[in-house]
Amino acid sequence: MSPGMVMPEESRKDDFDSLETQYKKGVKHLFDNGIEHVPRKYILPALERPNVVHEKSTGDVDNANLKLPIIDFAELQGPNRSQVLNSLASACENYGFFQLVNHGIPYEIINNMVGVSKRFFEMPYSEREIMYSRLYLSGQAIPCSYNQRTDGVFCWRDFLKLVCQPLPDVLPHCPSSPNDFRTLAVSYAKEVKFLFLMLVDAILESLGLMNKRNVTQKDDDKDEDEDKEEEGEILKEFEDGSQLMILNCYPPCPQPDLTLGMPPHSDYGFLTLLLQDEVKGLQIQHQKNWVTVEPIPGSFVVNVGDHLEIFSNGRYKSVLHRVLVNSMNYRISVASLHSLPFKSTIQPCPKLISQTNPRRYMDTNFSSFLEFLKSGDSTKKNFLESRKLTS
């Protein structure tokens, strides 16, 4: 259209409506329809694109494949527990991320979860839409982008968010197609929840909060009993805690340098356990560089969320991460986000506050997070920043 030509109001509106309808169908739909250029709605401002090296970076980001600390879950249960706990503490302090291997969840369950997620996104949009609208009505799903209504730029990602707690209430809303979706997703959700609880136990111990397993002095018995009671209470709260599963599908993108699968963000909860297929894409910010996490088949990438940073009074770090897309391959990931129940207050653990280490965060809860989402920019670590005490 020449600059002098003005589009009639009606057809501009039709154009806008048809674009909105397309975008609502997500990026897989765009890719399936042979899109050759990334639509403007998905193009990031130049400085936010994936290959930009910021002045603050300490090195070349291009091929930096980070070897995340590896935590062997089986070792954590054995005689070397205290050494593994030290490695766990160091990973949570210095990286905010680690890879968990030998976690005990059968390979079949993991493989089935990735497989059924792939099959879900392979269904034509018309079929997925039915599932989305059912879940949407029950408050359990948002189909694509980060937050379609408020985001200036959309992400090259389709996703399905499933609220998993309490499972019996949630089950009826879980997608019924593919027809094995419910069975596979539920058995995966249960396994991951159990693993999360075992990890919380280890994390609390690594923070010096759990039972002193080797204490022998009698005088310590009373303290030990009190500690155990307190630990039991914390763990019980986590047992009843929140669990969200987010199934992500990143289709190939014709111009991957212009967009992102997910923008830089930290996770809201206590811990996230991420399952990814063999396609690279996840990057974490480490020492001011963006570095790619090498997938280890069958393992979990575990990261500290905002709640754990608050709970640990800043000792463990919730770290920014983002997702790159590529022009060749689909990528599937399944993130399981865990925390205390939605109604609980999150605060620095009183035992981790002292005169030399004063409280660094104010109390928070899920509704203040939702309020923040409505009013503010939920990317980066903005929510966590808003909870920091300045003095």
Residue closer to ligand AKG by CB (options 99, 206) is: 99
> Which of the 8 DSSP states describes residue 250?
E
Q: In the bound complex, what is the minimum distance in angstroms from residue 62's beta carbon to ligand AKG?
A: 19
> Least Å distance between CB 159 and ligand AKG?
7
Give 333 or 339: the residue with its C-beta nearer to ligand AKG: 333
With beta carbons less than 8 A apart as the criterion, state whether 97 and 319 touch.
yes
Rounded Cα gap, residues 381 and 377, in angstroms: 9
The answer, yes or no, to whether the previous bond of 166 is cis (omega within 30 of 0) is yes
Q: Give bridge partners of residue 276 from the DSSP assignment.
A: 333
Give the Cα-Cα-Cα angle 100, 101, 105 (nearest 5 degrees).
100
Q: Which residues pair with 321 in a beta bridge?
A: 265, 284
- For the CB of residue 335, give the shortest distance to ligand AKG in the complex, in Å: 4
Q: Residue holding tokens 């986590």?
A: 238
> Residue 13 CB, nearest distance to ligand AKG (Å)?
34
Spatial distance between the Cα atoms of 116 and 184, rounded to a whole number of angstroms: 8
Write down the H helix ranges in 257-380: 306-311, 366-375
Q: How far is the CB of 248 from ligand AKG (least distance, A)?
A: 5
Residue with Cβ nearer ligand AKG (84 or 323): 323
**Minimum CB distance to ligand AKG smaller for 164 or for 210:** 164
Looking at the DSSP bridge assignments, the partners of residue 289 are: 286
Taking the least distance from each CB to ligand AKG, the nearer of 92 and 275 is 275
Tokens for 43, please give them: 């193009």
**In the complex, what is the shortest distance from the CB of residue 246 to ligand AKG, in angstroms, rounded to a whole number?**
4
Nearer to ligand AKG, 156 or 238 (CB): 156
- Min dist. Cβ of residue 250 to ligand AKG (A): 7
Q: CB-based contacts of 350: which residues, under 8 Å, 6+ apart?
A: none
| Alpha helical stretches, state H, 123-180 | 125-137, 167-170
Q: Give 144 or 282: the residue with its C-beta nearer to ligand AKG.
A: 282
* Nearer to ligand AKG among residue 199 and residue 320 (C-beta): 320
Phi, psi of 169 (to 5 degrees): -75, -30
Tell me if residue 99 falls in helix, strand or coil: strand
Q: How far is the CB of 282 from ligand AKG (least distance, A)?
A: 4
Torsion of CA 99, 100, 106, 111, to 10 degrees: -10
Rounded to a whole number of angstroms, the minimum distance from the CB of residue 91 to ligand AKG is 17
* Least distance between ligand AKG and beta carbon 284 (Å): 10
DSSP-based three-state secondary structure for 233: helix
Please give the torsion angle defined by the CA atoms of residues 159, 160, 165 and 171, in that order, rounded to the nearest 10 degrees.
-160
As measured in angstroms, the least distance from the Cβ of 317 to ligand AKG is 16
3-state secondary structure of 92: helix
What 3-state DSSP class applies to 282?
Answer: strand
Which lies closer to ligand AKG via its Cβ, residue 315 or residue 321? 321
Describe the strand order of the beta sheet including 97-101 as a list of residue ranges: 70-72, 97-101, 300-304, 271-276, 331-339, 242-250, 158-163
Question: 85 or 116: whose CB is closer to ligand AKG?
Answer: 116
Residues that bind ligand AKG (CB under 6 A): 246, 248, 262, 267, 274, 276, 281-282, 321, 323, 333, 335
**Which residue's CB is nearer to ligand AKG, number 30 or number 274?**
274
CA distances from 292 to 51, 108, 295 (A): 12, 26, 9
